[in-house]
Structure 1
Amino acid sequence: MENKKASALFMEKLKGSGFRLTAQRETLFQVIAESLGAPSTIQEIWEKSRALDPSIGIATVYRTVNLLDEMGVLNIIYLNEGEFRLEMPGQKFHISAFCRRCGLLCPLGGEAGKQKVMEEWLEEADMELLPQSLAVAGICEECRAIMEDCDRFPAPPSMGMGRGWGGRGRGRGRGRMGMGRGPAK
């Protein structure tokens, strides 16, 4: 779906749900539409939005992304820590693989068969499959090669410096609850 069409759909759904269409939301819809399909973070969306409208706060970005998700016009696919991919819900079920190290995203084929399996699993629990996207974590070939190179050159052994956690928390031998051992001598 084209960016302008996605942005127009966001605006239409928002108005249809009784929400106000503010200038900030219009700007965010434009930036979110441009971010569709690419790994991004709330921070990145916020920075792009602020370049267009400096009055947009990061909380507004969080609320808008979550609102679009709740209205069913945007799917959030969580990848690494804080990173996600935004997609328009075109299918009932979409599955991708992503590299946990570099973030490479690869759509997986055979979604109809995978959707059927998911529907069967949920049917056993007397539930219906909702439209969603699923990202399965792995390590890509390039990152595996890099990691193998790192294994060939292990880090040097520790020199025994530092006390680690073993030396903490003992204080001066004050006993329980920080109370002294008795009167000072």
Structure 2
Amino acid sequence: MREKITEISESLRRKGYRLTPQREAVIKTLLENPNQHLTAEDIYVMVRKSHPEIGMATVYRTLDLLSKEKIINQLSSGEGQCRYELESQAQRHHLVCLKCGQITEVNIQLLEKMQEALAAEHGFQIVGHLLKFYGYCAQCAPVEE
């Protein structure tokens, strides 16, 4: 984890930002909860355990900065809240429930093959993509009679 924090710190420094204790606490929370897709409120509650002085506005500003600098991904859920995850080199695909906002990560090998084919066919260097499927999770799906 320390290695990843150092990497992020150096990235921020190159862009003219410092890794403040509050920013580090937010990053640590995301690192400690991989694949959780936390809301700002979730992060705030977790960070306050070790940094009781941190305010909600600081968490929002930190998330905005980290998102702007492509250190984290901001995901819109069906419930109108944003959820956050650390940026990864691996392509991620998500199922987003429109009712409860649950976000499930899925790995779709077919899409990776399609990406390679598109790049080769068009001589295009793809550096990333975003794919979200919207619908209803098993708990929220309407029951058919």
TM-score normalised per structure 1: 0.61
* Cα contact 2:96–2:133 (8 A) shared by 1: yes
> Which segment is superposed worse, 8-17 or 46-55?
8-17
Give the 5 Å matches for 1:32-43: 32-43=30-41
Distance 1:118 1:7, change over 3 A: farther
Report Cα offsets for 1:78-131 as digits up to 9, x if no partner: 22321424132313x432223333415141403324536887xxx8xxx98653
For residue 175 of structure 1, what is the aligned residue in structure 2? none
1:112 alignment counterpart: 112
How far has the Cα of 1:9 moved from its partner? 2.3
Tell me if the contact between 2:77 and 2:103 (Cα under 8 Å) persists in the aligned partners: no
Return the alpha-carbon distance in structure 2 between the equivalents of residues 114 and 51 of structure 1: 44
Within 2, Cα distance between the matches of 1:133 and 1:4?
28
Structure 2 CA distance for aligned equivalents of residues 131 and 24 of structure 1? 29
Q: CA separation of 1:143/1:79 partners in 2, compared to 1, >3 Å: closer, same or farther?
A: same
Two-structure CA RMSD over aligned residues (Å): 2.9
Give unmatched runs, 5+ long, in structure 1. Answer: 153-185
Provide the aligned length of Structure 1 versus Structure 2.
140
Amino acid at match of 1:148: V
What's the TM-score once normalised by structure 2's chain length? 0.74
Percent sequence identity over aligned pairs: 23
Q: Does 1:148 align with 2:133?
A: no
Max radius of gyration: which structure? 1
CA distance in 2, matches of 1:105, 1:14: 29
* Cα distance change on mapping 1:12 and 1:28 into 2, 3 Å: same
Alignment of 1:73 with 2:71, yes or no, is: yes
Between 132-141 and 109-118, report the one with greater CA deviation: 109-118
Within-5 A mapping of 1:1-185: 3-80=1-78, 81-91=80-90, 93-102=91-100, 103-110=102-109, 111-115=111-115, 131-144=128-141, 147-148=142-143
- Per-residue deviation, 1:15: 1.9
Contact 1:79 1:85 in 2 (8 A): no
